[in-house]
A and B are shown apart, each in its own frame.
Chain A
């Protein structure tokens, strides 16, 4: 059964230096408050995993928390570049960042394999792309390989399973025994929690009883390690039914992140100076 603890305690107990950490949420339900707590606790050498490393990973990378990034699309949606991510890849600032790059279909299937407890997943994908080369045969640790169907002889693509040390997600609600409920765009959150050794779920609300919701994903409390109450914890992303996406923030981030000094000031003022659980 999940333990209900403060966000600071959840991060302190679940996430350690050097861990592989997957914070998921496909535009919706992105666990920003948890990401900021990881920065505040100054975790280092993390392997960060995420399909769409948007602002939250730009912030973690710029703060020097990451050694490696495993991803499929690293941009500011509808706005442009992630400048801290680019600075790390192009100029190794503040520290060098190793990358392992996939497509969305490949990443989704890698989580699916991890959740299923099998070493790889099969898809039609990557054929003829540069990704097949950079994340396939020529790498030191290839994660894409061709595979022959044992029934038809057709050549398909295998991708290795992702088994993160820690999954971090944000959800609308949990009950007092740690059962978690999320709805709207649910992305790969179920898969990432089931694929990971431990998990941290921040929620908008903790309720006595979870009434059924059409289309909701429910993660039973015994599949979750820690639940932390963090209302508004997805901001500037959103939690459908609770908050709306702060598009202005995404647009404003471009100027903050473009420059190392304005970014460092932002870190000091908006993350380090703010106690956990406040915003």
Chain B
């Protein structure tokens, strides 16, 4: 057993998904501007705004800047995003004036597949592009969010299907094939700084840029994390044990999600 393995914990009072969302919310600092993808990133960004980051500026690709939804939106274009926003702009404007020049601090993205250099696939899995085994939704705003935000945080469940040595299709570029690629490609943002999963937090190795596990949630073992990764996952020498969700965090998250469910 490694030092980080913790066997025999009693059943947790929260789910792995809740821990992941809370962990992702903590990665956002108050006052940041955040370009938010739908799904897990949106839940985490809204949780951050409801707890420690009330001045977090949420920007959705539908053109809503400074949205303050009172419940979790199902889509990036729900009416309450427009009704609570500081400004609503057109779609060409949100990408050309707001995202492209590098005004946004952090891009918050999900993924279907992600590889050890943080490249994201949301396009096709298996087969070839013309005849894929699974056709995914595609790019949306992600390629330019990944290219132009000052930094990127990815929220994704960790398993053998999602964590692969090399993505089947590069929808959004992380570090490409390694050091120097972002510069060579002319990508202006710094790239993915964290991958937050249902097991812990991965950060790029400062030199090799390969994603390394730097934090675990309580009860997660190094062997479980390695087991659920499609590449030979490196573990930081002294990984952080990330604190369990506080009652306040859980309460805020469940209030949001309860609202979302009651609206479905």
A residues touching B (Cβ–Cβ < 8 Å)? 26-28, 51-52, 71-75, 77-79, 81-82, 85-86, 89-90, 101-105, 108-109, 111-112, 123-131, 134, 154-155, 184-188, 190-191, 215, 217, 238, 240, 244-245, 247-248, 250-251
Between A and B, 8 residue pairs with Cβ closer than 8 Å are A27-B76, A103-B142, A112-B96, A184-B79, A185-B62, A185-B64, A185-B81, A186-B88
Complex-state Cα separation, A81 to B112, whole angstroms: 12
Chain A nearest CB from B159 CB (Å) reads 17
Task: Name the one of A77, A109, A215, A217 contacting B74, with C-beta atoms under 8 angstroms.
Answer: A77
**Set of chain B residues within 8 Å of A104, measured between Cβ atoms:** 61, 91, 95, 139-141, 144
Instruction: Judge whether B17 is part of the interface by a CB distance below 8 angstroms.
Output: no
Chain A nearest CB from B180 CB (Å) reads 12
Chain B nearest CB from A124 CB (Å) reads 6
**Set of chain A residues within 8 Å of B137, measured between Cβ atoms:** 73-75, 81-82
Decide: B147 and A125 in contact? CB cutoff 8 A.
yes
Decide: A215 and B88 in contact? CB cutoff 8 A.
yes
Using known A-B contacts A123-B96, A127-B147, determine if residue A72 contacts B74 with beta carbons closer than 8 Å. no
Complex-state Cα separation, A112 to B88, whole angstroms: 18
Within 8 A of A (CB), among B48-95: 61-64, 73-79, 81-83, 88, 90-92, 95
Chain A nearest CB from B129 CB (Å) reads 5
CB nearest neighbor in B for A112: B92
Decide: B74 and A250 in contact? CB cutoff 8 A.
yes
Chain B nearest CB from A12 CB (Å) reads 30
Chain B nearest CB from A244 CB (Å) reads 6
Chain A nearest CB from B223 CB (Å) reads 32
**Beyond A112-B96, A188-B91, 18 extra complex contacts between A and B, CB < 8 Å:** A28-B62, A77-B76, A78-B38, A89-B135, A104-B140, A109-B92, A123-B96, A123-B100, A127-B147, A127-B173, A127-B187, A128-B185, A131-B123, A131-B171, A185-B77, A185-B81, A244-B79, A245-B78
Complex-state Cα separation, A78 to B64, whole angstroms: 17
**Set of chain A residues within 8 Å of B132, measured between Cβ atoms:** 89-90
Q: How large is the interface on B (under 10, 10 to 19, 20 to 34, 35 or more residues)?
A: 35 or more
Chain A nearest CB from B64 CB (Å) reads 7
**Set of chain B residues within 8 Å of A75, measured between Cβ atoms:** 136-138
Chain A nearest CB from B137 CB (Å) reads 3
Complex-state Cα separation, A155 to B131, whole angstroms: 32
Decide: B139 and A187 in contact? CB cutoff 8 A.
no
Task: Name the one of A78, A90, A111 contacting B75, with C-beta atoms under 8 angstroms.
Answer: A78
B residues touching A (Cβ–Cβ < 8 Å)? 38-39, 61-64, 73-79, 81-83, 88, 90-92, 95-96, 99-100, 123, 129, 131-144, 147-148, 169-173, 176, 181, 185-188, 263-264
Chain B nearest CB from A7 CB (Å) reads 23
Task: Name the one of A101, A186, A245 contacting B90, with C-beta atoms under 8 angstroms.
Answer: A186
Decide: B140 and A26 in contact? CB cutoff 8 A.
no
Complex-state Cα separation, A40 to B11, whole angstroms: 55
Decide: A129 and B141 in contact? CB cutoff 8 A.
no
CB nearest neighbor in B for A73: B140
Task: Name the one of B73, B129, B134, B143 contacting A125, with C-beta atoms under 8 angstroms.
Answer: B143
Complex-state Cα separation, A85 to B82, whole angstroms: 29
Complex-state Cα separation, A103 to B95, whole angstroms: 11
Complex-state Cα separation, A131 to B136, whole angstroms: 14
